[in-house]
Amino acid sequence: MKWQLTPIALSLLLLAGCGESGSSEAGPDYGSGGGSNPPPTPTPGEFDQAELVANLVDNVITPTFTSAQQLAAELTPSLAQYCQALSSGGDASAAGGDAQQTWLALMAQWQQAELMQIGPLGSEATLRNRIYSYPVVNRCAVDQDVAFFEAGNINGNPYDITVRTDTRKGLDALEHLLFAPDADHRCPDNLAPAGWNARPEAERWLARCQFAEAVAADLEANLALLQQQWASYAEQLKSAGEPGSEFSDVHQAVNAISDGLFYLDGLTKDAKLGVPLQGFAGACLDEECLSTLESGFSASSIDNVVNNLVAFKSLFEGLEGAGFDDYLNDVGNPELAQRMVADLDAVIVDGTTYPGPLSQVLTEDPERVAQTQAGVKTVTDQLKVDFISSLALELPPTAAGDND
């Protein structure tokens, strides 16, 4: 159930390690601040876990995937207009700007979906990576495929984007195609498309745009496939404990959904904030740093972080329906539920009030970025111990043994 946001949080709210799985083992002072308030023992059967699963599936996760697919469908005609403007030789800046804005809206929505990597998005991440391969990004590979697509073949074989590696397509490839500061390739000389940088700039931008159309069509197809596969998996979740479901009981389904929350730890906290802080604090002034940032070219890095947090909060509170906060209330730990919501609100406000893109703040005020990372860590520390222990859930394999 949704807790009331403070007025400032409401006004600023945006749209959007590998080990063995195991249960969290809390120490003797877990959740107490000193041992005087031991964790409650969950009492399965009192809280309606099936209601929690149904609400998160129907009112949080499914609408997120549906919205992403709808926004991808809007990107295709936007790119067509941009390519037409480029091919006519006129001013394509307005059409290009429209395509960029459509991509930004789609990326904002997908950043919320990133915390919902279960079922079709969680099985070895194959479908997810075709949609968005971050943190594995290769701009040179994208530039190579612009040339391959333009030629229509690779070593004599017809070009087929569906069989190309993940780093050559998807949302991250589209960012490079739409937001790169110039039309030059990003390849070492031995891998560069032959003669690319010597070609007229307008010709290169058109080739990029035409490849972007193919990438967008492939992305739309993969998002449609996600919808199809998710519909089946959603029924498995909602029928947990019934004959035919892959979940023997509803608590397993709750655990599966909770696994997605841990994206906030390994990706948001560590990869999106920690890695840039370690390598470029005070000096994010060049393309090397922008290439390290998620969505550095589009200057939407901190927006991605905020959308991750917004998605976490939606799953945690269940919007207007049953959420993990209600489950915590039921097992006797309302203090944890309220504290996690307050900490989420605080770091969301922090992220939405950045004076500029992450690259700028990382250069001018790296302590602010460190503060944001610390705010995210406050949430994930509670997630990995207090939350898991209170609800008798298991850590996902990627989080087991991670104490950072």
Model confidence over 56-75: pLDDT tens digits?
A: 999 999 999 999 999 999 99
pLDDT tens track for 329-374: 999 999 999 999 999 999 999 999 999 999 999 999 999 999 999 9
pLDDT tens track for 195-211: 999 999 999 999 999 99
Task: Give 3-state DSSP helix, strand, coil % of the chain, rounded to 5.
Answer: 65, 0, 35
The conformational region for residue 282 under phi > 0 = left, psi -120 to 50 = alpha, else beta, is: left
User: For position 2, what pLDDT does the model report?
Assistant: 43
Instruction: Using the structure block, give the residue that is written with the tokens 């709808």.
Output: 70
Strands (E), 276-398: 394-395
Contact (CB, 8 A) for 31 and 388: no
Contact (CB, 8 A) for 404 and 40: no
Say what the pTM is. 0.88
Strands (E), 121-210: 153-154, 157-158
Res. 18: pLDDT tops 60: no
The four Cα atoms 23, 29, 33, 38 give a dihedral, to 10 degrees, of 80
Tokens read off for 307: 């959308």
- The pLDDT of 181-193, averaged and rounded, is 97
Position 328: which residue type?
L
Contact (CB, 8 A) for 382 and 343: yes
pLDDT tens track for 24-56: 333 333 333 333 444 444 554 489 999 999 999
Instruction: Using the structure block, give the residue that is written with the tokens 């129907």.
Output: 58
3-state SS assignment for residue 283: coil
Instruction: List, in order, residues 6 or more apart from 274 with CB less than 8 Å away.
Output: 373
Q: From the CB of residue 321, how many other CB atoms can be counted at a distance below 10 Å?
A: 17
The conformational region for residue 31 under phi > 0 = left, psi -120 to 50 = alpha, else beta, is: left
CATH classification (class only), 7-12+46-395: mainly alpha
DSSP string, 9-48: HHHH---------EE----TTTTTSSSSSPPPPP-TTSS-
- The pLDDT of 234-247, averaged and rounded, is 96
Res. 143: pLDDT tops 50: yes
